[in-house]
């Protein structure tokens, strides 16, 4: 079986941290070339430090981590510290490290990795953050699009948001970047709230992780418990792990179903800022449309696969 070449673009962030663990546990299926960071869930310094700590913690010391954009293309950054905590990783405190970013020019580093893939191989981009880095990559180095197999992103929704009634956080944070990416002519799988709101672990599963003697499982239990301790989740029995859907879609696509739709992004500054407008009028099943909108999941199987991957460590 040929491995998929992937590049992760993230803003860790608890659910980004789970996505990175899923990639680390899937080395038989995925070849992770690098991780770029972008300001979103927390500031650039904090998410970059989190990415460095996570790669060291998960045995990915050889995976380069590079710093990308420190703010959205044109808008002011508003972080989600109420959701992810002051550090971005909730209650969890990872060991100190000496690892440093491989390059301060993350966009150029990404371009070089993609263009230097062996032969005619292509890269799968996996953004789980605002799409600022991907938009900059496509605008500054449009030649890379020929070497991108697909983009599997976490972001957007066809009906309602989580940061506003209309918009999901990653798209809302930098709608201009999202509009560039959605119209770049590259195939996209959209792991938005339609599916990610139904993907996660229950309280008992999180508590089992938190009580584990395995350092990795315990750390992730600590991270996920922070969600349950927040106001948003106090009355809920399922904690959503949005970003992990991207990796599990790549390793276990049979868990999900979706439809093909065109997508536009509202780049105004009104109440619909960041809304992903998915036109479902007669397009269901039309694979000539560029965006596969995931909208169904086998939750029990999703939980089984996620927990089995955490058993890798």
Active site amino acids:
242
18 backbone dihedrals φ, ψ, rounded to 5°? -65, -40
- Structure tokens, 294: 């995931």
Check if the beta carbon of residue 46 is closer than 8 Å to that of residue 271. no
Q: What is the C-alpha to C-alpha distance for residues 145 and 264, in angstroms, rounded to an integer?
A: 19
Check if the beta carbon of residue 62 is closer than 8 Å to that of residue 98. no
Query: Residue 148 in 3-state DSSP?
Result: strand
Strands (E), the chain: 4-10, 30-37, 65-67, 123-127, 148-154, 188-191, 200-202, 238-240, 256-261, 263-265, 276-278, 291-297
Contacts of 272 (CB under 8 A, 6+ apart): 166, 167, 266
- Structure tokens, 220: 């992730």
Strand-pair partners of 44: none
């Amino acid at each position: 079986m040929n491995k998929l070449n992937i590049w992760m673009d993230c803003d860790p962030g608890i659910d980004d941290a789970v996505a990175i663990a899923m990639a680390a546990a899937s080395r038989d299926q995925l070849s992770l070339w690098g991780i770029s960071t972008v300001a979103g869930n927390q500031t650039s310094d904090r998410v970059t430090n989190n990415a460095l700590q996570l790669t060291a913690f998960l045995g990915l010391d050889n995976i380069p981590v590079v710093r990308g954009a420190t703010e959205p293309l044109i808008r002011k950054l508003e972080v989600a510290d109420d959701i992810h905590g002051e550090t971005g990783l909730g209650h969890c405190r990872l060991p100190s490290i000496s690892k440093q970013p491989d390059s301060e020019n993350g966009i150029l580093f990404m371009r070089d990795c993609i263009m230097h893939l062996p032969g005619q191989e292509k890269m799968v981009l996996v953004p789980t953050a605002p799409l600022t880095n991907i938009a900059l990559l496509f605008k500054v180095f449009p030649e890379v699009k020929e070497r991108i197999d697909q983009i599997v992103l976490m972001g957007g929704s066809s009906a309602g948001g989580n940061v506003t009634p209309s918009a999901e956080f990653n798209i809302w944070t930098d709608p201009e970047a999202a509009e560039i990416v959605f119209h770049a002519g590259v195939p996209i799988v959209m792991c938005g709230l339609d599916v990610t709101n139904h993907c996660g672990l229950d309280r008992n599963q999180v508590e089992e992780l938190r009580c584990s003697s395995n350092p990795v499982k315990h750390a992730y239990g600590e991270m996920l418990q922070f969600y349950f301790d927040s106001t948003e989740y106090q009355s809920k029995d399922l904690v959503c792990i949005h970003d992990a859907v991207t990796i599990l879609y790549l390793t276990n696509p049979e868990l999900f179903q979706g439809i093909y739709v065109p997508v536009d992004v509202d780049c105004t500054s009104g109440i619909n800022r960041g809304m992903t407008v998915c036109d479902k009028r007669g397009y269901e099943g039309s694979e000539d449309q560029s965006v596969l909108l995931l909208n169904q999941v086998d939750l029990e199987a999703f939980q089984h696969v996620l927990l089995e991957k955490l058993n890798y460590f």
